[in-house]
Structure 1
Amino acid sequence: MNSNAAILQARGVFKNYGDIRVLHDVALEVAPGTTHAVIGPNGAGKTTLFKVLSGELFATAGTVHFEGRDVSRVPGHARVRRGMGRTFQVARVFGENTVLDNMAVAIESREAAKGSHPLRSLSVSRSSALLEECRSILAQVGLGGRLHERAGVLAYGERKRLELAMTLALKPRMLLLDEPMAGMSPGDRIAAVELLRRISLELSMSILLTEHDMSVVFALADRVTVLNYGKVIASGSPEEVKASPLVREVYLGH
């Protein structure tokens, strides 16, 4: 892929649910190594766009390219194998298993997808290399001291961090984060912003996120796209978006 080309590109994306048009001619580009936020009022189409970009849904019309390849009809699990990592509004972890087991499953799933070995059961003893990788990633997200606790007893913000760690274990080249701060306390939100900023810088990770908290958006995003009634009404730097009279009118307030 050309280093200057968009890592993720959507062109002319429409999405209909029956007779209801949710997305209308949406275009979006995420440059490599940048953080791109999609914002807009409730019902603007953010979640539907996110699902189309991640492969959970297919567009009614239009194209999605990832690293220069057309993935418009590639399902989500296959996009993950190609280098997309995704988290959800509600953290998806295995609550009855330990933090370490959650991480091990993610790493073993990655290796199984490559054909390195079949996915093993949780009862199988782990290799020292796998355990070291688990510990390293968990330390990166601030969970290095929680390895043997059940994921279900973690605080909500910690479960979100565990989900992010499991996503990072897949070694994605791009993160897609759907409302990553949803349900977090103010303190957890501040910590999560710092964590994502560090991941972006240290790993040169491309990030696409949807988020309602504008303080989070303007703290993290290099570029912002604004949706309203399924259409892009603005796209640019945070400063350009904040200065847009139309965006202030429909979303940010005067």
Structure 2
Amino acid sequence: MDSELDSPIRKRPLDTTQTTQSKKNNTGLHQKYQSSREAILAARDLIVIASQLSHERAEQSSLLNLFQIFREFTEKGQVRYASSIIASQVATLENISKRIDNQTKTHKPAKPAQSPQPTPSPQQPVQLQQAKPSYAQVASPRTGETGKSEWTTVQKKTKPQGPNQRVQALRSRQLILIKTVQSPISPLRIKDAINNAFGQKGVEHKVIASVSLSKTNQNIILTTMQSFTGQYLLDQRAIWEKEISFSTAQLNQSWFKVC
């Protein structure tokens, strides 16, 4: 009685019946199979029977895979099929995970576009309205920093002209020089000489477009470029009159008859 109280742990009695039964089973297996190969072959046959008895496809597939492993081990002494199955399963899982990642990336909800916040416009100082320049100020030559006068030509958009308007436009660009002494002339030389004279005075563009004689060869007709007029030639007579001999200069008016 004292020994039972002194022991801190009460041991469970050993089940001798179960131990004896397992020993009998192991002894029976050893007597039935003489080698490990015979036991493995018997296990392979049992797997085949189990696959035939199963009615589920997934279970049959698993049993056949297990049978393939036993067959490879018994025939070749290797277990490569199991590793290949595991590798293929791992690769399949990796591919599935990549597809899921790609789908989640492509189907991400787009962020709502933020409307730009209105920025306060800076207060602009009130500008005083400047007076428009007069026609006299526009026509007068303006002197720049270098002291040279700027030549500006203002061209207006012209509408399609009729025959009469074309004739009038051509006459406005002509200046008639009346000669008192009849002498042969060179139209090309006169044209170049007058243009050179204007160029020396700072006019960049050519002024004279053509030089011709009248029907009776008594007068000389100077025709300017479209950006100049006969009145301009008459006003700038001092620049070019030394390049040709004539008595008087006359604008080609509609009432004036060119001889």
TM-score, normalised to structure 1, is 0.17
TM-score, normalised to structure 2, is 0.17
Between Structure 1 and Structure 2, which shows a larger proportion of helix residues? 2
Instruction: Name the structure, 1 or 2, with higher relative contact order (CA <8 Å, separation 6+).
Output: 1
